[in-house]
Amino acid sequence: MERRSKVIIIVVCVIAAIGIFAYSQYTSATHLSISILESKIIQRNDNNSLYNMTLQFQNPSLLPINVGQTDFVISINGENLGTGTLQALVIPPIGKISSQAPFTADNTILHKYDKSNNVPNVKLTGTSKYGISIISVNVPFTYYPTEQEAREFIHGS
């Protein structure tokens, strides 16, 4: 009977440790900061513009964060400008990592703001899939670029 009690205690401790680790990873993932370092138009046709964006992720946690494939949407003043996909990456503890993210924009919406001196409300939203131990968690995020980042993004420079 004593041996069985020890096994049960060990199993409970292991499950608790995994739970604490998973919760700390989830908390870290929700505090991850995102910024647009660069956005360049690499191809333009009548309907769409293909951008190559460089996104930077900063991990405030003491643990590495596994970010799975991330689908995101960029909108301008509430209109869906287009979508993109970021490939899986690992962000080091208390570190930064940059990643290329191709993005296809709808020129009809883009041209509404291309010549304007007013900077519209640009928003990047998406859902990242994080690998935490043996499970995967979807964490939504929203990022509002600075006025300068929004201006550079719209003009593709």
What is the predicted pLDDT for the residue at 153? 72
Strands 65-67 and 122-132: antiparallel
**CA distance readout (Å), 42 to 61, 75, 142:** 35, 20, 25
Domain boundaries, the chain: 2-155
What is the predicted pLDDT for the residue at 27? 63
What is the predicted pLDDT for the residue at 33? 78
Domain 2-155 has CATH 2.60.40.10: yes
- Rounded mean pLDDT for each run of 10 residues along the chain, 157 residues in total: 78 74 63 79 89 86 79 88 87 89 87 72 81 68 81 69
What is the predicted pLDDT for the residue at 2? 81
Tokens of 144: 């509002």
What is the predicted pLDDT for the residue at 126? 84
The CA dihedral of 144, 150, 153, 154, to the nearest 10 degrees, is 120
| Cβ atoms of residues 53 and 100 within 8 Å | yes
